């Protein structure tokens, strides 16, 4: 007897390691998302990365060949901005991150102090331009009692050439030196799904989360009451699966159309 196709109304996709590696799309990923859209499935994108704005992430996806709109993007910089806007209005932020983080914060009316003098919040994401001076300014602010926020604590992220240190490596340095623990807004924190429910009307029972990490993507799905699919093109491997089990394990996102009973359009 043929397996019954998974019935969902929305799919949320992680990016790095799930849809692409660096600037190289996973084979079949573009066609898979096209098939979902053709079938009327709402398609959204969720990444812990905070180095780009929502608009910047959408532009990268489009540049790689995916259909994507800014309102479909939930990235670390946007989730962090929404958290500060709603929970810490009027606070000034010292960003430890790349320009996309500051741009998204400012776009949402949050004051950014790039010099780190008297900021109320230290906000951390991946920063490939990190200097000891910037790290030191964040350390001083945290020791004086500034709020400690982070987009994520991912220890690595995948690229075409293998893994690289993630935002978690920078967060860990500040945790160790300041003896403070950050509040992390990214996956597996369900905050992003709360935004999706408000902005797109999603329901957990009707939504599938597709990602490459057990500790973030699959844990996020569990925390939000979603179905989950682990793809083996990024960080987590089949041998890593323990008590936290995804509903589906796929060699790559290209196999998703079969699980959903969809036809791919070239």
Does the residue 32 lie in any domain? yes
CATH code of 178's domain: 3.40.50.1000
Contact predicate 6/227, CB 8 Å:
yes
Whole-model pTM?
0.93
Are both 232 and 161 inside the same structural domain? no
Choosing from 184, 205, 223, the residue where a domain stops is 184
Please give the residue range of the domain that contains residue 29. Answer: 10-48+187-260
How far does the chain reach from its first CA to its final CA, in angstroms? 29
Are both 143 and 191 inside the same structural domain? no
- What are the tens digits of pLDDT across the range 97-126? 999 999 999 999 999 999 988 899 999 999
Alpha-carbon gap, residue 59 to 225, rounded angstroms: 30
Which pLDDT does position 218 carry in this prediction?
Answer: 98
Does the residue 67 lie in any domain? no
Are both 100 and 191 inside the same structural domain? no
More confident residue, 225 or 6: 225
Are both 203 and 239 inside the same structural domain? yes
Share of the chain above pLDDT 70, in %: 96
Confidence label for 264 from pLDDT (cuts 50, 70 and 90): low
Which pLDDT does position 20 carry in this prediction?
Answer: 96
Are both 39 and 122 inside the same structural domain? no
Helix (H) or strand (E) holding 24: strand 24-25
Catalogue the active-site residues: 14, 16
- Distinct helix (H) and strand (E) counts, the chain: 9, 15
The total number of structural domains in the chain stands at: 2
Contact predicate 125/152, CB 8 Å:
yes
Q: Is the pLDDT of residue 190 over 50?
A: yes
Does the residue 40 lie in any domain? yes
Confidence label for 2 from pLDDT (cuts 50, 70 and 90): very low
Does the residue 120 lie in any domain? yes
Alpha-carbon gap, residue 148 to 120, rounded angstroms: 9
How is residue 130 written in tokens? 């990190």
Alpha-carbon gap, residue 69 to 57, rounded angstroms: 9
Are both 150 and 172 inside the same structural domain? yes
- What are the tens digits of pLDDT across the range 48-73? 999 999 999 999 999 999 999 999 99
């Amino acid at each position: 007897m043929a397996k019954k196709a998974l019935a969902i109304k929305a799919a949320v996709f992680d990016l790095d390691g799930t849809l692409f590696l660096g600037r190289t799309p996973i084979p079949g990923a573009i066609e898979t998302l096209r098939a979902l859209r053709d079938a009327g499935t709402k398609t959204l994108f969720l990444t812990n990365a905070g180095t780009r704005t929502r608009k910047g992430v959408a532009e990268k996806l489009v540049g790689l060949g995916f259909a994507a709109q800014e309102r479909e993007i939930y990235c670390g910089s946007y989730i962090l901005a929404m958290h500060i806007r709603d929970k810490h209005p009027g606070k000034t932020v010292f960003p430890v991150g790349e320009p996309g983080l500051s741009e998204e914060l400012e776009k949402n009316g949050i004051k950014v102090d790039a010099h780190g003098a008297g900021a109320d919040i230290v906000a951390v994401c991946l920063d490939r331009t990190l200097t000891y001076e910037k790290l030191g300014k964040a350390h001083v602010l945290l020791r004086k009692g500034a709020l400690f926020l982070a987009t994520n604590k991912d220890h690595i992220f995948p690229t075409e050439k293998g893994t690289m240190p993630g935002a978690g490596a920078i967060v860990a340095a500040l945790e160790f030196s300041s003896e403070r623990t950050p509040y992390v807004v990214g996956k597996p924190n369900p905050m992003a799904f709360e935004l999706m429910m408000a902005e797109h009307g999603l329901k957990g029972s009707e939504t599938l989360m597709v990602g490459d990490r057990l500790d973030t993507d699959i844990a996020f799905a569990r925390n939000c009451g979603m179905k989950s699919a682990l793809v083996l093109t990024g960080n987590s491997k089949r041998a890593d699966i323990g008590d936290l089990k995804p509903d589906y394990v796929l060699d790559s996102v290209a196999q998703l159309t079969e699980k959903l009973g969809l036809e791919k359009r070239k």
